[in-house]
Structure 1
């Protein structure tokens, strides 16, 4: 592990936007989930939320070019549970959905805590999600197609959110408490995935890291560095 890479990981953590996320409503195609994970990581979202689809992939294999390793996910049994949880967290729910009350996506305020609710590939947003979202946002289209692909639409909207938050100074360097157990856990998981699998397999605590992000060799003989 190089020192520069270790510092890059810490910089990414400093800029994570814990009050911004995505909630998918029955999105089931793996390539769309992977694309949204890549977008989430790119704009600083630490975790996305997903409703388990009634058909399609039941388990998400988050390859996404490695971005699934850096962006967590939480799966709900239904949209009601997912929306209720996010509202309890103080999130404003913006649904990507055309309706009489929809506004241009650039008119929304993304500097407030929010979740972007994205509907399924074919059917779009469920009736429940459309009714209980705080606002609807749309992306202008002048061609023959009726809508963007779900992952493309999410990327367009979240880039606007990043633009607004950047102008508001919300990505400026923040303090990172490297002694926080949660921060230490995340950094270890990002930097040493093989050792993470080894420790979890044998129910061992993660070893400590030095100032360069390298593992400090534990004295306990139970720890043996897994082969590459």
Structure 2
């Protein structure tokens, strides 16, 4: 890969926030899901969560502008299943909801490990999502409209979290493990070789400090061999 590509991927990896995330509570419109993922990538969120009990969530590569390649989406069949993961990570759980105990979303300390539950387009956050939340948050509305599109609301909250974390110096220090970083560097820096590895069932090689493939002669020989899974002419 080019030095510029190598530097850009490394910069992305250095800024990923592993303890800041969103949970989409049965959000079902593809364009909204894709927009949330795209913004998550922009602010450095490593992965998001989605509770989707009825069907698989699918995001078009074109719709998400390729952001799903960089941001993992972990899917759950129920909110209780997702809650177990949040508890394991010691996260404060926030839920967007108009309630008596809701506070302005800007009054939250997002430098803590945080997950924000965003409700679906029609009903908002489910009763199960509200029940596991440590705090309800709202985006103040001064006009006649009482709610924002879920992707817009998510973006406002994510950028407030980014602002606070930048001020706290939380960006620029790599939090991801080396195995994951090597995988991303290979798949995104050498996509043709990565595709060949998956077809031929060849382990991924290491990527060196210049962004180039570091592999022995045996690996290269296997790469040059005909693809046993290729369709016969």
TM-score (norm 2): 0.87
User: Contact 2:92/2:113 (CA < 8 Å) preserved in 1?
Assistant: yes
Using the TM superposition, give the Cα deviation of residue 175 of structure 1 relative to its aligned residue in structure 2, in angstroms.
5.4
Counterpart secondary structure, 1:211: coil
**Structure-1 residue corresponding to 2:206:** 208
Identify if the C-alpha distance between structure 1 residues 192 and 53 changes in structure 2 by more than 3 Å, giving closer, same or farther: farther
State whether structure 2 residue 169 is matched by structure 1 residue 137. no
User: Contact 1:24/1:117 (CA < 8 Å) preserved in 2?
Assistant: yes
**Pairing 1:67-216 to 2, within 5 Å after superposition:** 67-171=67-171, 173-174=172-173, 180-216=178-214
In 1, Cα distance between equivalents of 2:20 and 2:176: 21
In 2, Cα distance between equivalents of 1:184 and 1:174: 16
How many pairs are equivalent?
222
Using the TM superposition, give the Cα deviation of residue 23 of structure 1 relative to its aligned residue in structure 2, in angstroms.
0.7
In 2, Cα distance between equivalents of 1:29 and 1:53: 15
Identify if the C-alpha distance between structure 1 residues 106 and 176 changes in structure 2 by more than 3 Å, giving closer, same or farther: closer
Using the TM superposition, give the Cα deviation of residue 84 of structure 1 relative to its aligned residue in structure 2, in angstroms.
2.0
In 1, Cα distance between equivalents of 2:44 and 2:103: 24
Using the TM superposition, give the Cα deviation of residue 59 of structure 1 relative to its aligned residue in structure 2, in angstroms.
3.5
30-39 or 57-66: bigger deviation:
57-66
Using the TM superposition, give the Cα deviation of residue 174 of structure 1 relative to its aligned residue in structure 2, in angstroms.
2.1
User: Contact 1:21/1:115 (CA < 8 Å) preserved in 2?
Assistant: yes
Counterpart secondary structure, 1:223: helix
In 1, Cα distance between equivalents of 2:206 and 2:131: 49
**Structure-2 residue corresponding to 1:22:** 22
Counterpart secondary structure, 2:22: strand
RMSD of the TM alignment (CA)? 2.1
Counterpart secondary structure, 1:75: strand
Larger radius of gyration: 2
TM-score (norm 1): 0.89
Give the gaps of 5 or more residues in structure 2: 228-233
In 1, Cα distance between equivalents of 2:176 and 2:136: 37
Using the TM superposition, give the Cα deviation of residue 224 of structure 1 relative to its aligned residue in structure 2, in angstroms.
4.1
State the Cα deviation string for residues 139-183 of structure 1 (Å, max 9, x = none): 011222220000110000110000111111111x325899x3232
**Structure-1 residue corresponding to 2:58:** 60
Identify if the C-alpha distance between structure 1 residues 33 and 176 changes in structure 2 by more than 3 Å, giving closer, same or farther: closer
**Structure-2 residue corresponding to 1:32:** 32
Give the gaps of 5 or more residues in structure 1: none
State the Cα deviation string for residues 32-56 of structure 1 (Å, max 9, x = none): 11111111111111111111143xx
Counterpart secondary structure, 2:65: helix
Identify if the C-alpha distance between structure 1 residues 185 and 215 changes in structure 2 by more than 3 Å, giving closer, same or farther: same
User: Contact 2:15/2:44 (CA < 8 Å) preserved in 1?
Assistant: yes
Moved over 6 A (4+): none
